[in-house]
Amino acid sequence: MKEIKIESTLYVYDSMDELSEEIRNLMRKAIEARNKAYAPYSKFNVGAALLLDNGEVVTGNNQENASYPSGLCAERTAIYYAGATYPKSQILRMAITAASQNQETTSPIPPCGACRQAVAEYEVKQNAPIEIYFMGETGPVAKSNSLANLLPLIFDSSAL
Ligand code: THU
């Protein structure tokens, strides 16, 4: 028996003000998307913005449903739209922000496991890392250099 340690590294910016202009603009697009989320049940609005290598920015937000499991997270709404619209483009970065309608969310909210799996598919497909930036409504912004860094023991097509 041997022990295997798996490490992830995150970089944390004190606030949006510390981000480069380009990333701050991407986060602003995620905030705009978040403000248009359809989240009447959870009252938890999430927005995501993707920067593609063709310069396009694709956004998405969570879309809930009275049949709860039929809803979709912001990250998957955005990345599936990107995959459907620009199938040949690479995704360079993703900005994510989440805000509760009940209280201020002040710490970075990471993407859920299902969204990590969905984003991982595109990272593997394009064979290049997708930078992930995530934050709450205010406060620090966390950055991961790749999706793989957020999803240890990734399951991908190499297993099939
Ligand atoms: N949600 C997202 O949009 N992204 C995540 O990564 C986590 C959760 C949404 C789903 C649901 O509409 C609400 O947040 C509460 O879970």
Task: Write down the catalytic residue from 7, 22, 32, 75.
Answer: 75
Nearest CA to ligand 1 atom 4: 73
The C-alpha atoms of residue 77 and residue 82 are separated, in whole angstroms, by 9
> Is 115 close to ligand 1, i.e. is its CB under 6 Å away?
yes
The C-alpha atoms of residue 106 and residue 124 are separated, in whole angstroms, by 32
Position 48 scores a pLDDT of 98
- What H or E segment, with its residue span, contains residue 114? helix 113-126
> Is 129 close to ligand 1, i.e. is its CB under 6 Å away?
no
- For 86-121, how does the pLDDT look when each residue is reduced to its tens digit (9 = 90+)? 999 999 999 999 999 999 999 999 999 999 999 999
Nearest CA to ligand 1 atom 13: 44
The C-alpha atoms of residue 64 and residue 145 are separated, in whole angstroms, by 29
Position 95 scores a pLDDT of 98
> Is 39 close to ligand 1, i.e. is its CB under 6 Å away?
yes
- For 16-64, how does the pLDDT look when each residue is reduced to its tens digit (9 = 90+)? 999 999 999 999 999 999 999 999 999 999 999 999 999 999 999 999 9
Q: How confident is the model at residue 15 (pLDDT cuts 50, 70, 90)?
A: very high
> Is 131 close to ligand 1, i.e. is its CB under 6 Å away?
no
Query: Is 75 an active-site residue?
Result: yes
For 142, residues 6+ apart whose C-beta sits below 8 A from its C-beta are 10, 11, 12, 13, 108, 110, 133, 134, 135
